[in-house]
C-alpha cells in the first residue's frame, strides 16, 4: 500500500484507482482531438466531456458553498468513465438543455440522427482512450497532489469528489 498524502487522500495506491484530478480532463481530451483520435469533432452538435466536467464541478462547488474563486484551494477528483456514462444517460433522455444542445437549432428543428450517431461515436472513442489512460492520469494526479503538499508545506487543500 502506498503513502497517504494529506492533499491527495485518494492516492493510497498511486497506480490503481479510477479517480483523476479533473483539471487533467480538458488537456487530455483536447490532445486526443488535435491528434485526430476522436474524429471530426468540429462538426458535432454536442459538448465535449470536459465541458460536462466543468459544469458538474461548478454545480458541486456551489452546493458546497464555494465559488470559482476557491478553485486554487481545491482539488476536484472525478471518475471520467462514470461522468461519461452520466452524460450518455442524459443525452439519451434529452432531459437537460445544457447536455443536449437543441437550443442551438431553430425553433422546431431537431439535431439530425447522424449528429446523435456522431456524438455516440465520439464518446465511445473517448471511452476507449480513457480506459487505457486512467491508470496514468490517476498516477499523475497523485504525483501532483504530492508536489502540492510539498510546495504548500502541509497546507490543507479542499478535496472534492464529483458524484456521477
Measured over the CA atoms of residue 137, residue 119, residue 96 and residue 164, the dihedral's sign is negative
pLDDT tens digit sequence for 66-76: 888 888 888 89
pLDDT tens digit sequence for 68-119: 888 888 889 999 999 999 998 888 775 555 545 555 555 555 555 555 677 8
Is 145 within the bounds of a domain?
yes
Owner of C-alpha cell 439519451: 92
Is 12 within the bounds of a domain?
no
Identity of the highest mean pLDDT range in 5-9, 41-45, 160-164: 160-164
Nearest Cα neighbor of 61 from 10, 8, 22 is: 22
Is 117 within the bounds of a domain?
yes
User: How long a stretch of residues is the chain?
Assistant: 164
Mean pLDDT of the chain: 79
- Please tell me the total count of domains within the chain: 1
Gap between the terminal Cα atoms of the chain: 27
pLDDT tens digit sequence for 6-25: 545 556 655 458 899 999 99
The alpha carbon of 129 is separated from its chain's Cα centroid by a whole number of angstroms, namely: 13
Helix axis angle for 25-34 and 49-63, nearest 10°, is 170
**Residue 77 CB partners (closer than 8 Å, separation 6+):** 10, 19, 20, 21, 22, 141, 159, 160, 161, 162
Burial class (CB in 10 A: 0-12, 13-18, 19+), 87: buried
Is 86 within the bounds of a domain?
yes
Is 13 within the bounds of a domain?
no
Is 118 within the bounds of a domain?
yes
Q: Give me the domain span that covers residue 118.
A: 20-161
Is 31 within the bounds of a domain?
yes
> What per-residue confidence (pLDDT) applies to 128?
96
pLDDT tens digit sequence for 124-155: 999 999 999 999 999 999 888 888 877 777 66
Is 132 within the bounds of a domain?
yes
Measured over the CA atoms of residue 139, residue 83, residue 122 and residue 49, the dihedral's sign is negative
Amino acid at each position: 500500500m502506498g503513502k497517504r498524502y494529506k492533499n491527495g487522500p485518494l492516492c493510497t495506491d498511486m497506480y490503481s484507482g479510477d479517480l483523476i484530478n479533473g483539471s487533467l480532463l480538458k488537456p487530455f481530451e483536447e490532445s486526443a482531438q488535435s491528434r485526430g483520435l476522436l474524429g471530426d469533432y468540429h462538426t458535432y452538435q454536442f459538448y465535449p466531456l470536459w465541458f460536462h466536467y466543468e459544469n458538474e464541478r461548478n454545480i458541486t462547488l456551489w452546493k458546497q458553498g464555494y465559488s470559482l474563486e476557491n478553485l486554487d484551494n481545491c482539488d476536484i477528483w472525478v471518475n471520467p468513465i462514470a461522468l461519461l456514462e452520466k452524460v450518455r444517460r442524459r443525452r439519451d433522455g434529452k432531459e437537460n438543455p445544457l447536455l443536449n444542445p437543441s437550443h442551438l437549432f431553430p425553433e422546431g428543428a431537431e439535431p439530425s440522427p447522424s449528429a446523435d450517431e456522431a456524438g455516440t461515436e465520439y464518446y465511445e472513442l473517448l471511452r476507449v482512450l480513457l480506459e487505457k489512460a486512467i491508470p496514468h492520469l490517476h498516477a499523475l494526479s497523485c504525483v501532483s497532489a504530492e508536489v502540492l503538499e510539498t510546495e504548500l508545506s502541509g497546507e490543507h487543500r479542499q478535496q472534492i469528489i464529483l458524484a456521477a
